A = this chain, B = another copy of it.
């Protein structure tokens, strides 16, 4: 039950972006350097975030990336869903037809319930609160 590096890198990217909000677009290259991530691989992660409309980019000199919405409106569930896929602990939660026993399966009910609760947890954590907490930590 580990998250892939996509989610980890994505979150670090977004935190970095939120931290530098209001300073104009931020270079992918700078974030990769600050966070010590492969620039190429990070781009691939960020591509997903952009496709999902969570970030946007400006090309050319003085270009870079910026958050589309307010950090307070971006939840961990949003981030993980984009980068990891929907929070279904097993396929049959999302996709009844992936198992021909889904309708009568006792185990499935468990996973549906657990997935729902985990989703609630992740929805309760926003990028905004993360950045706030960071700031108060440093002072």
Contact = CB atoms under 8 A, between A and B. Distances in A.
A11 interface: yes
A126 to B, nearest CB: 10
Nearest to A115: B1
B3 A90 contact: yes
Interface stretch (A21-29, A43-51, A63-71, A81-89): A81-89
Interface string A53-83: 0000000000000000000000010001000
Given A1-B85, A84-B1, A8 B114 contact: no
B109 A133 contact: yes
Q: How many copies of the chain does the oligomer comprise?
A: 2
Nearest to A83: B1
B117 A130 contact: no
Interface in A80-139: 80, 84-85, 87-91, 106-107, 109-111, 113-114, 117-118, 121-122, 125, 130-131, 133-134, 137
Given A11-B107, A114-B121, A125-B110, A91 B2 contact: yes
A117 B121 CA distance: 7
12 contacts: A1-B85, A2-B85, A2-B90, A3-B89, A3-B90, A7-B89, A8-B90, A15-B107, A106-B137, A107-B130, A110-B130, A118-B118
